[in-house]
Structure 1
Amino acid sequence: MAPVSELNRTDNVEGPVVAIFNVPLIGHVNPTFALVQELRKRSCKVHYFLPPVASIRDAAIESGAVVEGYLPEDPTDFEMDKCCVDEPPCPTQIPVEDRALYPVWPLTTILKCGEYVLERCRQIGVSVVLYDAWVPLGIVVARRLGIPYASLVTYPGMGSLRDMLSLMEAEGRLEVFADIRKPYGKAIKDKFGIDLSCHLLTRRQYYSETNFVTTCEDLVAELPKPGEQKWADELRAHFSFTAVGCLVSASAPHVSTVSATPTHSVSASAKSFGNALPTAELMDHLARGRKIIYAALGTMALLDRWNIDLGRLSGNNLPLGTTGKAFCQHVWKALFAALEELGEEYFCVLPAGKQPDALDFLGSSEEEISEHLPCNVFVCESVPQVEMLNRYTSVFVSHVGFNSLQESLMAGVPLVAIPQAVDQPGNARKVQDRGWGQAFFKPMETCTAAQLADVLRQVSGGASYRRAVQRARAELAGGAPRLAEHLVVMAKDQKGQNGAVLGGC
């Protein structure tokens, strides 16, 4: 990694205007808030384009950004993943559970919002664009304005999706999804004159020639060997990736939850848990030498796919038909039984989210649920995760989404990895191979109470795990200032533009 110079420069010369484009997903936005802080230190002005999700926008403002909407008047009901246009028609022939695999909403967002966002970026004088790889609107804006741009990859690269993508390629689904994207790509080219190369198999993510990965080089997941998979060969041929380090910062804002949209009515008997940490109780447990387990299974299972199949995204890590609810409740049942076995020397903090039926396996009323919770378990809706990891946690039971993995490493906390889907099985392999903890692969079969209790004893008491985590922490450090410096250099050196057009749609 290149050295970073003048990290704390705050001179009075006005710096570049940086536009950031993102989606309302916690794992995608949380790494960016420390980056905004670093850009502000360099006198940059940051305009952050976000959908109207209050908790995410508040964190962006707190970090120092000016929040922008994607549409005029910034309607409060705007949702990117439901953004549709009349032509071409949004496809309906594919089941809803498959739509995360071939999304067209990144393209329909351009058709619906592009004219307004482009004009707004002209008005504010944007000089460099950083966009989440789900938001190719950033590519269109940058190419039309003739300014440099790069994508931000908040997971360890497409190699982490190799099991899922290889299965999709074998089944011919990557080609099918490319065909679905092509008319949208043509409509964008006709309207804005920008070719997004929608025919590429890897266009489920809209990379640019320059892509910054929010981790260290050692954690970037390897691709299949040349010649093994078309999608991987295509990625090597067209795109380059620079690992800048971890962007996690204990001083940056951090979003713990966004509002759930229940698909059923909330039962009057469902238990509602707050969001406040029992700090005095946690400090008392630590003073008594007890181990504190933090168990968080991520928003994909707890919110996005609570009642939707996770198995299709798992690369065979979960059986087809396994919903977020089924996964969470399976792990929670095993965890509660394990904690009863472990006894009073262990205490667990468990954020269960906002789903009204989250704990219905314990009972149908608040009284029943409280009665059946182990006495060494504290349940809440959400937790300030960075604070929890840095101040209290002995071992983190995690789905190992990439941000959760890196937040744990940066806090020096070993892990028990229980992966669901997408990049998580690959992340769990890293946990196991690097000695950062232990992992349960195919958890619906392997994660039992007895096995989990045994693993928790080993990881919470093993000095070797903490030493390995500390080594990883040293490798990861410095990502936010390093990336901020890259963007400043790109903005000041127009030769850093990466706007070469890939092949046609």
Structure 2
Amino acid sequence: MSRITMTGMPASGHVNPSLPLVRELVGRGVGVTYYATGEFAEPVERAGAKFRAYPDGAISSRDIAAATQSGSSVRVVARVLAATLSLVPFLREEFARERPDAVVYDSNALWGRVTAASLRLPTISFMTTMLVGPADFKGLTALEWAHTLRLMLPDFPEAVRARRRVLRRFGKDVVPSTPMLPMFGDLTLFPIPREIQPANSRLDESCHFLGPTVNPVNAGLRGAELDAELAAHVDGAEPVVLVSLGTLHAGTGEFFRTCLSALADLPVRVVLAVGHSTDPAELGSPPANTLVRTTVPQVEILRRAAVFVTHGGMNSALEALTCGVPLVVVPQQVEQLLIGRTIAERGAAVVLRQHLSHRPVPPGDLRTAVERMLTDPSARGRARALGAGFGAGGGAGGAELVEKFLRRQRKGGS
């Protein structure tokens, strides 16, 4: 029996897209050991893999969230480098016992790549979003550039020091050169549709676009059931507008208050998911048409939604489109701007980019964007058409590619 190990990033948006691939591989008789933090043990084991926890203190979902919420991609890199120093020795011991035929790593889980390279094991990269290249930054305005640089520059010295420590300890032959993240593998899998990916010269024959690995329309992949209050709120006659900036990005009280005022007198039912960084009580009493929650079962709300106000993360965007829901994208970083712009070019989204230059979203702009997506029948039609074109074979297609890769490795890599 073939055996693989998977080293994940401790974030829902990274682990969840990989689980259908795990489920399919296990169903085909491939043994999978999945390394992540303890909060992901239950879903990993439900997918059929053997779960192994990273050591306490090495890295956590809170670490990743805090670095991401800073707005500095350089801070995320510095945190990944710091975790690599402690996780590579741990994984070397683990892999010596597991003896995998190949290592699958999240494209940002540097510790998996370094361990595999140092042990000369075949590698498979799981790239959970589009590949962003230098050309993709040309669309930024001067204000957006200034804000982005202001956030990143203070973190460069620590990132450089951390990279030097990693190079000294493990050697430059096993640490990727610049750009270090995200990383390719001998085989690289993108659980996204090819049409979402902008042109990029780094893409080569080792890269394969699977389409979404999770299809929320599939009844077998239904999300959590709604509680009575939430079900009653979204099952009324008025169209539902879901507002959420995802699990990693922290929406501000200012933005959520803008949502409350901008949407208060529209004939809709608003579900406002504010995340764990905002106390719903701080927003005051919501309008009669709005229900405020910390989190909600997103897929189940999207099944009933008419419009989704979102940060434009890849998972959220694909879930919405697969449910045929047009988007109002409020990007928090460049990658999300690119995702939103790609969908907007296809007529299924409006992009409000003020947050990229640290400016508030005007209530009138938000209201106009939501009304446009509500009243333009072509927007919903285009969202449905995009979602229908994605297909539902990402997990199976990825498993087939992995099996072919493993067979080639057994034959000597030919």
- TM-score bracket, normalised by the shorter chain, equals 0.7 to 0.9
Structure 1 residue identity aligned to 2:256: W
Task: Report the equivalent of 1:58.
Answer: 42
Matches within 5 A, 1:330-369: 330-342=254-266, 345-355=267-277, 357-360=279-282, 362=283, 369=284
Aligned residues with identical type, % of pairs: 22
Equivalent-residue separation in structure 2 for 1:19 and 1:165 (angstroms): 39
Structure 2 residue identity aligned to 1:349: V
Does residue 79 in structure 1 map to residue 59 in structure 2? yes
Residue aligned with 1:24, SS: coil
The answer to whether the 8 Å contact 2:242/2:271 transfers is: yes
The answer to whether the 8 Å contact 1:129/1:142 transfers is: yes
Using the TM superposition, give the Cα deviation of residue 209 of structure 1 relative to its aligned residue in structure 2, in angstroms.
4.5
Task: Report the equivalent of 1:298.
Answer: 246
Using the TM superposition, give the Cα deviation of residue 189 of structure 1 relative to its aligned residue in structure 2, in angstroms.
2.0
Equivalent-residue separation in structure 1 for 2:134 and 2:12 (angstroms): 19
Question: Runs of 5+ in structure 2 lacking a partner?
Answer: 64-69
For residues 257-312 of structure 1, the C-alpha deviation after alignment (integer angstroms, 9 at most, x for no partner) is xxxxxxxxxxxxxxxxxx84635414641xx3x1011111122332xxxxxxxxxx
Query: Which of 10, 18, 21 pairs up with 2:4?
Result: 18
Query: Which of 278, 281, 289 pairs up with 2:232?
Result: 281
Task: Report the equivalent of 2:382.
Answer: 468
Does residue 187 in structure 1 map to residue 169 in structure 2? yes
Equivalent-residue separation in structure 1 for 2:115 and 2:139 (angstroms): 29
Equivalent-residue separation in structure 2 for 1:148 and 1:300 (angstroms): 31
The answer to whether the 8 Å contact 1:102/1:204 transfers is: no
Relative to structure 1, the CA distance from residue 450 to residue 170 in structure 2 (aligned partners, 3 Å threshold; closer, same or farther) is closer
Structure 2 residue identity aligned to 1:151: S
Relative to structure 1, the CA distance from residue 134 to residue 463 in structure 2 (aligned partners, 3 Å threshold; closer, same or farther) is same
For residues 62-104 of structure 1, the C-alpha deviation after alignment (integer angstroms, 9 at most, x for no partner) is 2222111234xxx4x4425999xxxxxxxxxxxx875744624
Question: Runs of 5+ in structure 1 lacking a partner?
Answer: 1-14, 84-95, 224-232, 256-274, 303-323, 363-368, 499-505
Matches within 5 A, 1:419-430: 419-430=331-342
Does residue 47 in structure 1 map to residue 33 in structure 2? yes
Equivalent-residue separation in structure 1 for 2:48 and 2:92 (angstroms): 22
Equivalent-residue separation in structure 2 for 1:105 and 1:149 (angstroms): 22
Relative to structure 1, the CA distance from residue 490 to residue 178 in structure 2 (aligned partners, 3 Å threshold; closer, same or farther) is farther
Task: Report the equivalent of 1:249.
Answer: 215
The answer to whether the 8 Å contact 1:21/1:132 transfers is: yes
Query: Which of 372, 383, 386 pairs up with 1:458?
Result: 372
Using the TM superposition, give the Cα deviation of residue 493 of structure 1 relative to its aligned residue in structure 2, in angstroms.
1.7
Residue aligned with 2:243, SS: strand
Task: Report the equivalent of 2:51.
Answer: 67
Equivalent-residue separation in structure 1 for 2:380 and 2:296 (angstroms): 23
Equivalent-residue separation in structure 1 for 2:75 and 2:207 (angstroms): 22
Name which of structure 1's ranges 116-125 and 42-51 shifts more when overlaid on structure 2. 116-125
The answer to whether the 8 Å contact 1:354/1:381 transfers is: yes
Query: Which of 288, 293, 305 pairs up with 1:380?
Result: 293
Query: Which of 473, 476, 483 pairs up with 2:398?
Result: 483
Name which of structure 1's ranges 444-453 and 112-121 shifts more when overlaid on structure 2. 444-453
For residues 224-279 of structure 1, the C-alpha deviation after alignment (integer angstroms, 9 at most, x for no partner) is xxxxxxxxx7x46x995322211123344879xxxxxxxxxxxxxxxxxxx84635
Query: Which of 148, 157, 174 pairs up with 2:131?
Result: 157
Does residue 29 in structure 1 map to residue 23 in structure 2? no
Equivalent-residue separation in structure 2 for 1:414 and 1:70 (angstroms): 38
Residue aligned with 1:158, SS: coil
Using the TM superposition, give the Cα deviation of residue 22 of structure 1 relative to its aligned residue in structure 2, in angstroms.
0.9
The answer to whether the 8 Å contact 1:298/1:399 transfers is: yes
For residues 395-423 of structure 1, the C-alpha deviation after alignment (integer angstroms, 9 at most, x for no partner) is 11111111101111111111111111141
The answer to whether the 8 Å contact 2:84/2:166 transfers is: no
Equivalent-residue separation in structure 1 for 2:91 and 2:228 (angstroms): 40
The answer to whether the 8 Å contact 1:338/1:453 transfers is: yes
Using the TM superposition, give the Cα deviation of residue 151 of structure 1 relative to its aligned residue in structure 2, in angstroms.
1.1
For residues 347-384 of structure 1, the C-alpha deviation after alignment (integer angstroms, 9 at most, x for no partner) is 01111223364552x3xxxxxx2xx3101111111111
Relative to structure 1, the CA distance from residue 105 to residue 450 in structure 2 (aligned partners, 3 Å threshold; closer, same or farther) is closer
Task: Report the equivalent of 2:66.
Answer: none
For residues 298-328 of structure 1, the C-alpha deviation after alignment (integer angstroms, 9 at most, x for no partner) is 22332xxxxxxxxxxxxxxxxxxxxx42xxx
Q: Radius of gyration: which is bigger?
A: 1
Matches within 5 A, 1:126-205: 126-159=100-133, 162-163=136-137, 181-189=163-171, 194-198=173-177, 200=178, 202-205=179-182
Q: Which has the higher contact order (CA 8 A, sep 6+)?
A: 1
Using the TM superposition, give the Cα deviation of residue 119 of structure 1 relative to its aligned residue in structure 2, in angstroms.
2.7
Residue aligned with 1:301, SS: coil
Structure 2 residue identity aligned to 1:340: A
Task: Report the equivalent of 1:87.
Answer: none
Does residue 442 in structure 1 map to residue 354 in structure 2? yes
Query: Which of 322, 330, 333 pairs up with 1:418?
Result: 330
Equivalent-residue separation in structure 1 for 2:373 and 2:395 (angstroms): 30
**TM-score, scaled to structure 2:** 0.83
Aligned residues: 394
